[in-house]
Structure 1
């Protein structure tokens, strides 16, 4: 093949690529990367799923602070029966500690939780009057062993995975209302 022929083919292919539409934009808050994965108490978990409002963040603009951490909201209820359980308290994490309440703000059966930042460095969860949205559930009891292993053995530096085997019981005790 002659060099001119090769360049002509490349030009033809290149011109075809130029006609492709620009890639679309996906709204960050519309992504749900996993399907709800629920274990034996899935119906109770789903009933009390927190409504998360993200007050600051998720816009892709990082000016300072850090891009990852683990924050936790815990909902306490009085029964494992989906028909009779009621919320008895809640806890939200920030800086390795929990803010506890026996009366978290709720909407129907769902606690209203807000992720917020102050000054770019401080970020945590708090209960709020603002209604957020639900996100996917990935129940620890229903996770594949390889996923649990990664979360148990992963090196998250100072950002400890709050629900893995290494931290779950300690966090439950600290968040008990």
Structure 2
């Protein structure tokens, strides 16, 4: 071989090598994108690590009405207390397995949350309040991960100086509601009965804030009126949530079988089921 001659590379072999390198780079890029997409769309964290939203000062007529009629929730022994379901970054709660009673969910260490959403529906103003629970119960026994319960307080007009409650609807299953048009003083927060039967006296409380109880007797978990005062949770309205939190609540995969009653997909259907008239 003379100095003027040069060794030519094996061109097909070179193309194969370069093709393999490009394929590997493309595969790595696609894998990294998939991992990032999965982390963003299905980010779940431990049930006791979700930081609730602080309750903002109400500004709009809707927000002020929601605060006025904000209810209390009483949790009896043996079941889970309510927990925040999503944080500002859109990370959702992982829930708890449906076993071991109320183990690991007797209190929410970072505080709880009640979610609100309001709008005109037919000719009444509907204020939905919803709570999340990390376990669902059937006849006092935990059955599966994730549970949502809600009530709808129906009022005549939020813009009035003293709006009137027309009716109340309470979750009796995942999608069905028990409706009440007639309310009693004992349904409201602060009501107390003092003394024995013949010498009984009554202490009247609020005329806007109702009190509800989580129940589990002989069937689906449900909400009903409580005989005892409960607790207020920090109220966050749908419009006050971050975009990331709303997107997470709108993703039906984040809570398995449990419907988020105030999500874009389910809100109107739940109001229709809860209609009291």
- Class of the TM-score when normalised by the shorter of the 2 chains: 0.7 to 0.9
Find the counterpart in structure 2 of residue 165 from structure 1: 264
| 1:14-33 equivalence runs, <5 A | 33=52
CA drift of 1:130 comes to 2.0
* 8 Å Cα contact 2:156-2:163 kept in structure 1: yes
Task: List runs of 5+ in structure 2 lacking aligned partners.
Answer: 1-47, 82-101, 105-140, 190-205
Q: TM-score, normalised by structure 2?
A: 0.48
Higher relative contact order (CA 8 A, sep 6+): 1
Find the counterpart in structure 2 of residue 98 from structure 1: 177
Q: TM-score, normalised by structure 1?
A: 0.73
Q: 1:167 to 1:39 in 2, by over 3 A?
A: farther
Deviation track 1:26-73 (CA, whole Å, cap 9, x = no partner) reads: xx9xx9832114562211100100111112423742763234211101
1:34 equivalent to 2:53? Answer yes
Find the counterpart in structure 1 of residue 222 from structure 2: 124
Deviation track 1:84-116 (CA, whole Å, cap 9, x = no partner) reads: 212111111122210000134223111111112
Find the counterpart in structure 1 of residue 243 from structure 2: 145
C-alpha RMSD of matched pairs (Å): 2.5
Q: 1:82 to 1:48 in 2, by over 3 A?
A: farther
Which structure shows the higher strand fraction? 2
Return the match for 1:45 from 66, 78, 86: 66
Task: List runs of 5+ in structure 1 lacking aligned partners.
Answer: 1-27
Find the counterpart in structure 2 of residue 176 from structure 1: 275
Cα distance in 2 for residues equivalent to 1:36 and 1:113? 20
Q: 1:47 to 1:32 in 2, by over 3 A?
A: farther
Find the counterpart in structure 1 of residue 19 from structure 2: none
Cα distance in 2 for residues equivalent to 1:138 and 1:72? 14
